[in-house]
Structure 1
């Protein structure tokens, strides 16, 4: 799957690089950075707030094409691979010991990692020569989802590790992204964005992702 992803990005950039020769108002480039993701709304089971999703760090990388509509306004479609998701936390689980009728509070935690192909299409408005605002729709396709258990008190008690949840998850994601950016030079920019999902996945969750990274124009 990773080889296919690299091939898609390569073809995407080469195709648009050839088109650049015929259009002086278009540039292409690469981008990469880190993300800080989770799910919304707050995940509560039966009114118990000790069960929730927390944010986790991930990364992203990919390519983009930037079309200059005017001196102040540009359109930038992108093709990105991102590793994102959330931490699942269940705190204060009460376990009873039948031998002495006592109980113990334990915590269960896991990392949910989603390998996602993302296609943002953002409009950029330059407030001044170097500073710009941006926003637009973002489409996502989740190519793989894995849950890694990081704290398993049940394994310590029973000796049998807890099996990660395995279900037929929703693969399509859709939402809006918006942010700000700053041109450090003609080729290098730094930008930060926030993405929030508009559609509910797996009947319970919506994506919530902060991004921070660099862009390099070829």
Structure 2
């Protein structure tokens, strides 16, 4: 009887160890370099953050799946500056437009470990729009020749109704995980869905998300 109990205990310990080796989870955070592509002109990268958690399940030593839940600050920006001097009078015009799109991202990544913690990953992502705002800033000034004038202003509006509440994309990335669970990754999210939801321009203007993510995390 004691041998049976001892064998059962050893089996349970063995299964626990296998499960621990197969499954891991932990926090993840990093920086976004986000923009918008498609029928949108002069869109520049907007810097934001992403934060959340990840869970990894390994099928064997090489292959696994990683599911994540991330709060992601995305969007795009555009800046315009023009300075001219004529007859000793300098005129400066500055304008900045920023689209602030915040999403909850749910990527599921197939991972393949090449060697010594280095891995490549690819997988789909579904995203849910949390908030969308458009911000406009301007500064205008004239100086010199007895003239000194300047003005500035800003405005922020909600644009949730102009964008679709859900987005689909495809991720490609590289990663490295240390034996202690600390990991790093770089990923590109290619938006596959037109997020423009304005009735008059939905079919005419296509707008897609495009995000580069640099991340760090820890797996327990």
TM-score bracket for this pair, using the shorter chain length:
0.7 to 0.9
1:179 aligns to 2:173 (yes or no): yes
Output the CA distance in 1 between the equivalents of 2:168 and 2:17: 33
Corresponding residue number in structure 2 for 1:207: 209
User: Which range is displaced more, 112-121 or 178-187?
Assistant: 178-187
Corresponding residue number in structure 1 for 2:137: 150
User: Alpha carbon RMSD of aligned pairs, Å?
Assistant: 3.0
1:135 aligns to 2:125 (yes or no): no
**Contact (CA 8 Å) 1:131, 1:180: kept in 2 or not?**
yes
List alignment gaps of at least 5 residues for structure 2. Answer: 1-15, 83-90, 142-148, 197-204
Larger strand proportion, structure 1 or 2? Answer: 2
Q: Secondary structure at the match of 1:149?
A: strand
Output the CA distance in 2 between the equivalents of 1:207 and 1:42: 12
Corresponding residue number in structure 1 for 2:49: 59
Output the CA distance in 2 between the equivalents of 1:106 and 1:197: 34
**Contact (CA 8 Å) 1:109, 1:152: kept in 2 or not?**
no
TM-score relative to the length of structure 1: 0.73
Output the CA distance in 2 between the equivalents of 1:35 and 1:214: 12
Deviation at 1:205, TM superposition (A): 1.1
User: Which range is displaced more, 55-64 or 157-166?
Assistant: 157-166
> Who wins on radius of gyration, i.e. which is larger?
2
List alignment gaps of at least 5 residues for structure 1. Answer: 1-19, 45-51, 93-103
Output the CA distance in 2 between the equivalents of 1:177 and 1:32: 16
1:81 to 71, 88, 92: 71
Q: Secondary structure at the match of 2:43?
A: strand
**Contact (CA 8 Å) 1:74, 1:125: kept in 2 or not?**
yes
Output the CA distance in 1 between the equivalents of 2:98 and 2:208: 17
1:69 to 45, 59, 63: 59
Deviation at 1:111, TM superposition (A): 2.0
TM-score relative to the length of structure 2: 0.72
